[in-house]
Amino acid sequence: MNPPDRPVRVLLADDQALFREALATLLGVRGEVEVVGEAGDGAEAIRQCAAHRPDVVLMDLHMPVLDGVAATRRLRVEQPEVRVLALTTFDDDEDVFAALRAGAVGYLLKDVSSDRLLEAVLAAARGESVLQPSVAAKVVARFATLPEDGAPPARPQPLVVPLSDRELEVLRLLADGSSNREIAASLFLAEGTVKNHVTNVLAKLGARDRTQAALRGRALGLV
């Protein structure tokens, strides 16, 4: 997890030099992050990670030499402290689930806003999962249909401590892929208040991150 007294160290991995340059310029003006390296393919991304020890890698999936999924899989084994955020053009099921299975902590599309991208990088550095809304919907839908260990889905059990009405609202927006800032705007709350609600939701659901909370909320019929 990134210490609060220094910027998040970011590596850019994309085979399009112009996109990397634009992304480096975009992130370079934000004091919360520092771009420490760039790579044009997955193999170079692994070498750059070893050299620069970034906190977060923004990883394109379709690259030459070694694609982003394979590079993510290797980083998970060789440098598990590095958080990989897939940043790519398409959100088809094959790419989404391949990247997440490989160990990516998030999946964003290249049309994401600069503010949302920055939030995602900071969240990834904290160890949180970040998913594009369309991707979050795919993940929730896929996992909600999977039986556990091949058995029929068990009947959902009630929570020991139920969610409040406000926490339910936060959970539903969270499951749609909304950031804390977006939830705050939707519910007319302070961002710090939303953060507290999210913490409570995770605790009551016994979830380690936002994605798992969304999945458990769906399994319990709360989303």
Condensed to tens digits (0 to 9), the pLDDT of residues 165-209 reads 898 999 999 888 888 999 999 999 998 899 888 988 888 888 888
Q: What is the pLDDT of residue 15?
A: 96
All domains in the chain, ordered by first residue: 8-131 (3.40.50.2300), 143-219 (1.10.10.10)
Mind listing the pLDDT tens digit for each residue in 27-60?
989 899 999 999 999 999 999 999 999 999 999 9
Strand partners, 108: 87
Q: Is 221 helix (H, G, I), strand (E, B) or coil?
A: coil
CA dihedral (142, 143, 147, 149) positive or negative: positive
> What is the distance between the alpha carbons of residues 191 and 198, in angstroms, rounded to a whole number?
11
Mind listing the pLDDT tens digit for each residue in 91-131?
887 888 888 888 898 899 999 989 999 999 998 998 888 88
Q: What is the pLDDT of residue 145?
A: 60
> By C-alpha distance, which of 124, 153, 125, 152 is closest to 215?
153
- Listed in sequence order, the residues at least 6 apart from 200 whose beta carbon sits closer than 8 Å to its beta carbon are 163, 167
180-187 vs 165-175: helix axis angle to the nearest 10?
130
Q: Is 41 helix (H, G, I), strand (E, B) or coil?
A: coil
- Listed in sequence order, the residues at least 6 apart from 30 whose beta carbon sits closer than 8 Å to its beta carbon are 118
Kindly report the number of other CB atoms within 10 A of residue 1's CB atom: 10
* The model's pTM: 0.67
> What is the distance between the alpha carbons of residues 119 and 197, in angstroms, rounded to a whole number?
18
Mind listing the pLDDT tens digit for each residue in 130-140?
888 777 777 76
> What is the distance between the alpha carbons of residues 58 and 40, in angstroms, rounded to a whole number?
12
